[in-house]
Amino acid sequence: MPLPDEGKFPFHPHPEYARLRREQPVVQVSCPTGVNAWLVSRYADVREVLGDGRRFSSRPSPVAHILPAFRHDAPMKQQFSRLDGPEHIRMRRSLAPQVSHARRLAELQPFIDEVVEEAVDRFVEVAPPVDLHTHFSNWVTSAVIAELIGVPPEERHLLHEAAAAVFRYDVKIEDARRALGPLYGYLYAQIRERRANPGDDVLSRMILHSAETDRPLSDDELVGMNSALLIAGFDTTASLLSHGLLALLDRRDDWDRLVAEPALADTAADEIVRYLGVAIGLLRQATEDTELGGEKIAAGDLVVAAVQSANRDTDLHPDADLFDIARQPGAHVGFGYGAHACVGRQIARMELSTMLRTLPRRVPSLRLARPIEETPFRTHSAVRGPTEVLVSWDAVLPRSSAPVEEPSR
């Protein structure tokens, strides 16, 4: 399977995808974990796969074609991202309102503003060059997701350690379990505590919400959902913040345009998700004999929806290979599509656009301190992006240099 070689193509899916979209839009490939699957590269076909959970089940983990520790045929525990139909809806209903309701998001915006300002205050204390991936992106995204679930700063290392282990290609199942163990233990203890004394966090709200339903969520289900939320919500977003920053600083004109036109932060955020994406491809399994893009798919066949390739399809945008920070947000699949589409997408967008409003305002002279060719990237991971973004700068403006924008309500 033609995995992107990020070092060579830091801002593009592998060029082979353009040929596949033209000539073999649905093609059989052998994935890194050894399973054979149909690779689907066109926008319309990717939407068809992700949008039809009846024909294309989520039962294999979305990352099982890349990560051996997530075997697609492993017996399933309480992982809601691998459920279909009513079982998935039941679990998703208890979570989605807690992370996507407009009032909840409006409450969260001032917190994200403060976290991003504080991250700037902190990294500029260090003499340049500074690695923004560690000192900015990881810091911001873990603070936000930890606040949502109610994990105090001294326990955040649990999610760092779990995320660092589980998305690696070479992680052994025992090592992934060992890294997840402390996070699970912490969450089980918190569930007991919050069942007795609920707070205002997502975990407590899920407990309260599900208690009013016919089948309240069990402790195992709550631990499964909240650990997935912590890991997915932190690592994917951190990678994309860093990748987006790298792209903007590499294209100096775009960075300068953001400095001059802060109102572009929202469209730039969405364009980063479309253009760079973060998920390499999403795995599904056909539930019946069917047809896709002219190919016959048999029941039981595995199918990989290549979301990054789909987002570069000229059927989506005639100039899909152009990075345009003023592009109006459209129907891309960077957050997935259908029943399993990213439940944290509004939060991820808020983090991206807050960063894109704040950093250019406070550190307009920010620049890359290392050539793009020497920037290290994740390889063989379920998540794309640089592992370090070294930057330097001249002056830093204080927080008060411009009014912090009021959160939109």
Q: Catalog residues that contact ligand HEM under the rule CB under 6 A.
A: 50, 58, 62, 80-81, 92, 99, 145, 228-229, 232-233, 236-237, 240, 273, 278-279, 282, 307, 334-336, 340-344, 347-348
Quote the least distance from Cβ 376 to ligand HEM, whole Å. 20
Distance (Å, rounded) from C-alpha 251 to C-alpha 338? 33
Quote the least distance from Cβ 196 to ligand HEM, whole Å. 25
Quote the least distance from Cβ 294 to ligand HEM, whole Å. 24
- The single residue listed with the structure tokens 């995204």 is 141
> Which CB sits closer to ligand HEM, 171 or 206?
206
Quote the least distance from Cβ 89 to ligand HEM, whole Å. 9
> Which CB sits closer to ligand HEM, 244 or 360?
244
> Which CB sits closer to ligand HEM, 38 or 80?
80
Quote the least distance from Cβ 63 to ligand HEM, whole Å. 8
CB 55 within 8 A of CB 44: no
Backbone angles phi, psi at 295, to 5 degrees: -105, 150
> Which CB sits closer to ligand HEM, 91 or 258?
91
Quote the least distance from Cβ 133 to ligand HEM, whole Å. 14
Cβ neighbors of 323 (< 8 A, separation 6 or more) are: 11, 247, 251, 254, 271, 275
> Which CB sits closer to ligand HEM, 237 or 353?
237
Distance (Å, rounded) from C-alpha 389 to C-alpha 215? 46
- Nearest residue to 319 via CA among 132, 311, 284: 311
Distance (Å, rounded) from C-alpha 195 to C-alpha 355? 35
Distance (Å, rounded) from C-alpha 242 to C-alpha 356? 11
Q: Judging by beta carbons within 10 Å of its beta carbon (0-12, 13-18, 19+), is residue 111 exposed, middle or buried? A: middle
Pairing of strands 130-131, 390-392: antiparallel
> Which CB sits closer to ligand HEM, 76 or 260?
76
Q: Nearest-CB residue to ligand HEM?
A: 344
